Amino acid sequence: MMGQAEAILNTYFGYESFRSGQQQTIEHIMQENNTLAVMPTGGGKSLCYQIPGMALDGTAIIISPLISLMKDQVDALQALGIPATYINSTLTPGEQQARLAAIEAGEYQFVYAAPERFESSAFISVMKRIPISLAAFDEAHCISQWGHDFRPSYRSIVTSLKQIPNIPAVIALTATATEEVIADIQTLLQIQDDHVVKTGFERKNLSFHVVKGKHKQTYVRSFMKEHQDESGIIYTATRKQADALQEQLVKWGIPAAKYHAGLSEEDRKAAQSAFIHDEKTVMIATNAFGMGIDKSNVRFIIHYAMPMTMEAYYQEAGRAGRDGEHSDCILLFSPQDVQLQKFLIEQSLMDDDAKQGEYRKLQAMINYCHTHSCLTSYILDYFGDTSNYEPCGRCSNCQHRRERVDITEEAQMILSCVKRMGERFGITMTAKVLKGSNDSRLRSFRLHTLSTYGILSAYTEKDLTERIHFLVAEQLLGTADGKYPTLQLNQNSVDVLKGKRTVWMYTTPIPAAEETDYREDLFAALRDHRKKIADEEGVPPYVLFSDATLKEFSRYFPE
């Protein structure tokens, strides 16, 4: 049986061997077991239903939440000579009827269906009448309330499927590996533990980077200079940010497209197609872009702002390097990103319990931005993949690791300050107390009378904030969940306070060269601008400023 699957892999898809998890998943399906495949984005989930769909008799139904991608997937199968089609609301009623008739006549091995099809009795009754090989739920986390992309219409398909008794096996596919989501999918689709295939989550060709304290636009500009002609996606937090950044990139002469929910369907399609076909190398987008996008040569994913959860981050970042070549995933962090995400949680319609859950996930995301440990290990740990304990050597933390400093004493001072403040305050206030700030809020809470007031006054508030974030990220200090997480001591804090544990921090000096780059960029921009004006106005070149003057100017540029 597996010989057949392997033959299909070789001859139709042209691949030499299975990737991790594929063979096992295919075996379960061929033996008519409901199966759940949990693999990272780019791990090769499609083949897990495409190969059994070809090996088994009958038509495979693929349920996908994304209408915009169905055509691409169908085109790809057709290009391999495999009879496939899709049926969704983009077709006219006449076309839908014609397609249903062809499906009933058994003309297709694969039918991609949008969730709303399952509300159509015509569709259901055709499904009941034809031989079916399998039903696949792509992006299956959408059926779980715990998933980051819950769609009620997706969940209700489960009930509709029960009306179609002639489905030998259901396969669910997702890149979301949290336990709640897995358990939810298993219950809904009756999948036994033995039939859950979960692969390692490490993508060895991806390097993760967290960049803090840099002017984001300038960073992108110098990054793009070094990565000309490479394909990449820049995710922004808001539509407005996407608009502004795309405009900026185009001004810099970079072929950039944009994609967000505020654009017309037509514009989105055009942008997506220009990106997929490498006419535009860079895509500036909100998280509306990308679920299921299969573009193999994406060399970088830049997050212009921190996403809300690690699930969302890894899924988006995972769109890089599907071809297995080395690719970079860069997160540009600023403290305002946290405020924005908190605002979004507050504004959402979730109940308080659900909000607490979101705050907890957000905290894990914040910790990712502040940890000094290996970023790859942090991700794998988050997704419960314990197969690898070694630092990856590729991420920004592994690469910038210069020297270890013992900060146990400072940590003890910080922790005892938290204790003296009654574990009732957050990071900002704690940093202010340690600094000995004159902020009037300290007086109103009488925090200026504490023995730890000003105990670390030699540091800046920014440094202190960074150190507290670090302690939280390393779980040496806890936080309560919620909008304004208060700092709480945990068992690790107690160990540090008692001197049972040493606290090491890695220094990550910012390479000096990047500072000059930044200035030079500004000078260059200013010079270009002046020259353009001089040309336009026909003024002689001596009106242009000298470099010395430009240097003087630099003082007026905000960082």
Helix/strand/coil for 134: strand
* 69 contributes a contact to ligand ADP by CB under 6 A: no
Q: Which is nearer to Mg ion, 45 or 141 (CB)?
A: 45
Find which of Zn ion, Mg ion, ligand ADP, none residue 42 binds, CB within 5 to 8 Å per kind: ligand ADP
State the minimum distance, in angstroms, from the CB of residue 95 to Mg ion: 26
Strands 231-235 and 256-259: unpaired
- Binder of residue 39, out of Zn ion, ligand ADP, Mg ion, none (CB less than 5 to 8 A by kind): ligand ADP
Please state the closest distance from residue 397 (CB atom) to Zn ion, in A.
Answer: 6
What is the x/- site pattern for ligand ADP, positions 320-359, by CB under 6 A? Answer: --x-------------------------------------
Minimum gap (Å) between residue 263 Cβ and Mg ion: 23
Under DSSP, is residue 548 helix (H, G, I), strand (E, B) or coil? helix
Q: Is 46 in the site for ligand ADP (CB under 6 A)?
A: yes
Asked if 139 and 174 count as a contact pair (C-beta separation under 8 A), the reply is yes
254 interacts with, out of ligand ADP, Zn ion, Mg ion, none, CB within 5 to 8 A per kind = none
- Least Å distance, CB 198 to ligand ADP, is 13
Q: Is 18 in the site for ligand ADP (CB under 6 A)?
A: yes
- Structure tokens, 36: 């759940």
Which residues is 132 bridged to in the sheet? 59
Residue reference for tokens 């910012």:
510
Distances (CA, A) of 244 to 137, 159, 241, 262, 365: 37, 44, 5, 14, 25
Q: Given the complex with ligand ADP, which of 48 and 100 has the nearer CB atom?
A: 48
Residue 374 contact, options Zn ion, Mg ion, ligand ADP, none, Cβ 5-8 Å cut-off depending on partner type: Zn ion
Q: Facing residues of 60 across strands?
A: 110, 134
Binding mask 522-541 for ligand ADP (x = CB under 6 A): --------------------
As measured in angstroms, the least distance from the Cβ of 375 to ligand ADP is 21
| 296 interface partner picked from ligand ADP, Zn ion, Mg ion, none, CB below 5 to 8 A per type | ligand ADP
Options 30, 36, 39, 157; binder of ligand ADP; rule CB under 6 A: 39
392 binds, among Zn ion, ligand ADP, Mg ion, none (CB under 5 to 8 A by kind): Zn ion
Which of positions 242-271 make contact with ligand ADP (CB under 6 A)?
none
Under the binding rule (CB under 5 A), the answer on residue 45 touching Mg ion is yes
Rounded to 10°, the helix 547-554/512-537 angle is: 120
Q: Which is nearer to ligand ADP, 126 or 320 (CB)?
A: 320
User: Is there binding between residue 44 and ligand ADP (CB under 6 A)?
Assistant: yes
**Nearest C-alpha neighbor of 326 from the set 298, 293, 295, 291:** 298
Residue 200 to residue 384: CA distance in whole angstroms? 9
E strand or H helix that includes residue 11: helix 2-11
Alpha carbon distance 32, 138 (integer Å)? 18
Please tell me whether residue 301 adopts helix, strand or coil conformation: strand
Nearer to ligand ADP, 18 or 275 (CB): 18
Q: How far is the CB of 144 from ligand ADP (least distance, A)?
A: 18
- Name the DSSP letter for residue 175: S
Q: Least distance to Mg ion from the beta carbon of 277, Å?
A: 20
Q: Where are the beta strands (DSSP E) in 181-312?
A: 196-198, 206-212, 231-235, 256-259, 282-285, 298-303
How do strand 256-259 and strand 478-479 relate by DSSP bridges?
Answer: unpaired
Give the H or E element holding residue 86: strand 84-87
Q: Report CA torsion sign: 429, 434, 439, 442.
A: positive
Q: Is 133 a residue that touches ligand ADP (CB under 6 A)?
A: no
Q: How far apart are the first and last CA of the chain?
A: 63
Instruction: Give the nearest distance from C-beta 22 to ligand ADP in angstroms.
Output: 6
CA distance 50 to 84: 11
- Identify residues 361-420 at the interface with Zn ion (CB under 5 A): 374, 376, 391-392, 395, 398
Query: Would you report the helix, strand and coil content of the chain in percent, each value rounded to 5?
Result: 50, 15, 40
Residue number, 470 or 518, with CB nearest to Zn ion: 470
**Binding residues with Zn ion: total (CB under 5 A):** 6
- Residues binding Mg ion (CB under 5 A): 45, 292
Residue numbers of the site for ligand ADP (CB under 6 A)? 15, 18-19, 22, 39, 41-47, 294, 296, 322
